[in-house]
Every structure is written in C-alpha cells, then in structure tokens.
Structure 1
C-alpha cells in the first residue's frame, strides 16, 4: 500500500508499553494503557529521502514502533485480526528537553511529541495477524548499526488490549493508526543520521535526518 497522508485520521500513540523501556527512562511501569495523540501534520514517510526536524529545540530521541492501521469501525468484541488489515513501522520522535520541561510544569506533551515530522512511518504492508507478528522482530538501524530490536510478544499491553482500550475510550474508525509502543534502546539523532526500519530482515523504510 502507498502512504497517503489523507488516508490517515487519528494518530494514537501508546507510551511505556515495554517494561524495559519504561525502566531505561526511569518511568513507572503503567498499570493501564498510557496514550497520547499526534496531529496529522506529524506524519511523514520514510521513503529514502531526508526528513527535516528542528535543530533549535534541543535533543531529539527516536522510538521505534509497530504501527497498526485500522480498516473498519471498532465494535465491542472485534479482534485485532478483524480490525487491522495493514501495518507499518514507525518512529515516534520526541523533543527530549521540551518534554522534560513540560513534565516539570505538569503540562501536556503536544509540543514535544506532535511537532511536524515527528511521526515517521514506512509504507504499509499487509498485516499478517497477531500470532504471526509474534514470530518476527522489528528493528532500527542508525548509520548501519542496529540500535533497537523489539517484538510485540514483550509488550505490557498486547495488541488486543490496546485496540479495545482505544476503541472503547475514544473510538476507532477506518484510517486511524496506532503507534503501539517502543522497546528499550531508544536514543538520540544527529544531523545526517541514516535510519533504516526492518521487519525481520526486510527494509520497510529509510530516511536521512536533516536538522534545519
């Protein structure tokens, strides 16, 4: 499937969904799904070209995630395999210094998580089903070095729990996408970094960071 920004509606993001990631950032492990949103203008495709990120906002962190695309309206009792027909890999980009300041003030994270190009995603591929997804690792290479590896079987809240929570609390419809959480190994990006997103050994998308 080709990436089309106007095909996307709501962008839901699950935070702290891998225990080791929560611990590496000294965050408490959540007892229920922890969600935030990104605006549609945050979306940009990892299509081999440069992705422009702000150079004057401090440290920028990458967080690699499995991304689900919803194909129909959520109804109570629907399974993930019935609801989701395509998936991608994504990078939830975070302005770390901005986020830390917002946390101190007790303010929402939008400025740190929702800036333009902060939701980098690969082209979508067919969703193979939950059980088959558990057999495959996703990973990120930065400058030809693997820096993150994850598998959905290690999630605190599995995909069914996530879609049920989002669907019941907020609603889910065709075109909504869900960033499902990042494993341990998050790190920072610098100008010129080359990023490649892998599903097993297949490159789904890549881009070069341009700080401007």
Structure 2
C-alpha cells in the first residue's frame, strides 16, 4: 500500500554508465534530491498522465526502498529498511537542462505530479537477494533499461547512512536509489513495463497532460 509516505529522497547519478550517457561527472559522494510526496502514485497497470507541453519526458527505472524506523548511526540496512519496490523517476529533461545551466533547484524537472510511480512494496530481507537478479524497463515490448544494484556507485548501506546523517530518516520515508543507463523519452501511447527477475511486476500506459 502506498500510504503514509513521508519524505521522498532520490539518488542522482548512482550508476557510472548512466552518468556518462548524460555527459555528467561521476560523483564522489551520494547526490541527493527530493520529490514531493504528492509525486508518488501507484504503478499498477493504470494510465499515468505526464506533461506534454514542457519538452521531453524521460523514464528512469529504479529500485525503491522504504524506511521502517528512525535512523540511528550504526544501524544495519537490514534493520532499517522494511520493504522494497520498483519505480520510475520521470524527468522533464529539457527543463532540467535549462535549470542546471542556471544553477536552479531540480524541483521543476523532477517533482511534478505523477513523476514518481512505484509498484506495491514487498518485504525486504537482505541485500544479497536483490543483487541476484536484474530489474528491467520495457518500452512498447522492447527492453530499454537493465540494472542490478550491485553496479551502483554507492551501495544501499552507504545511501541510508548518508541520507540519515545529513537529512534524517524515519518511518515512511522512501528512497529512489538511482537508475542504470538506457534512459530515454516517452510519449502518450507508450506502454512501460517493469520486470524483476524476468517477471513483470507492473506496467502503465502514458497519456498526455497539460
């Protein structure tokens, strides 16, 4: 259930090849931005309306983790995280390019309505089980992204320690942990499907919004 979600943290440029495909430097510490909680919607097979008048909208498939208790220094991720899901960090790429040049915050490009759809959460047990399989994003039946969290620049423990120490973490917070290479544009009529371990976990159809 997507209820009681509080803060929505996101990790930028957490896969080396994704940073390189956008011409960005690989960070030397986690790069954190946020989305409003109102950006979160269920990824459950229903249509998702995205802006159609602000340039290209890009998909970014990611593992999402949910925090089950207040962060304390030294806490293990196994004790801190209670669930995981998969999501799409939708991005207004043209808008982002402009505001990056101006040095403005990313909210306009990352925080719009419906920009953070996620699947139903599943119980989190350990990191190793998540590393044993890839997650993928298919667009109109063709694979466009494939990732595995073992390829992240900053692993899950590093991410929660960094966010917890700098910003705080508590029950109901979620973290989008970064996207692998292969991001691209999506338009009205596209069908996007997330898979995990070779099996579909959810899909959506994109429709245009003003």
TM-score normalised per structure 1 = 0.97
Corresponding residue for residue 141 of structure 2: 144
Cα deviations by residue, 1:10-40 (Å, 9 ceiling, x for unpaired): 0000000000000000000000000000001
Cα deviations by residue, 1:37-74 (Å, 9 ceiling, x for unpaired): 00011111111110001111110000010000000111
Task: Report runs of 4+ in structure 1 exceeding 2 Å deviation.
Answer: none
- Whether 1:98 and 2:91 are equivalent positions in the alignment is no
Structure 2 spans left out of the alignment, 5+ residues? none
Alpha-carbon distance between aligned partners in 2 of 1:176 and 1:186, rounded to the nearest angstrom: 25
User: Cα RMSD (Å) of the superposition?
Assistant: 0.8
How far did 1:89 drift? 0.3
**Aligned pairs for 1:155-166 within 5 A:** 155-166=152-163
Structure 1 spans left out of the alignment, 5+ residues? none
**Segment of structure 1 superposing worse, 132-141 or 159-168:** 132-141
Alpha-carbon distance between aligned partners in 2 of 1:8 and 1:87, rounded to the nearest angstrom: 13
Alpha-carbon distance between aligned partners in 2 of 1:191 and 1:165, rounded to the nearest angstrom: 37
Match of 2:183 among 176, 181, 186: 186
Corresponding residue for residue 32 of structure 1: 29
Cα deviations by residue, 1:134-161 (Å, 9 ceiling, x for unpaired): 1111111111111100001000000000
**Aligned pairs for 1:1-212 within 5 A:** 2-4=1-3, 7-212=4-209
How far did 1:3 drift? 2.5
Alpha-carbon distance between aligned partners in 1 of 2:194 and 2:125, rounded to the nearest angstrom: 18
Aligned length: 209
**Segment of structure 1 superposing worse, 172-181 or 123-132:** 123-132
Alpha-carbon distance between aligned partners in 2 of 1:137 and 1:106, rounded to the nearest angstrom: 35
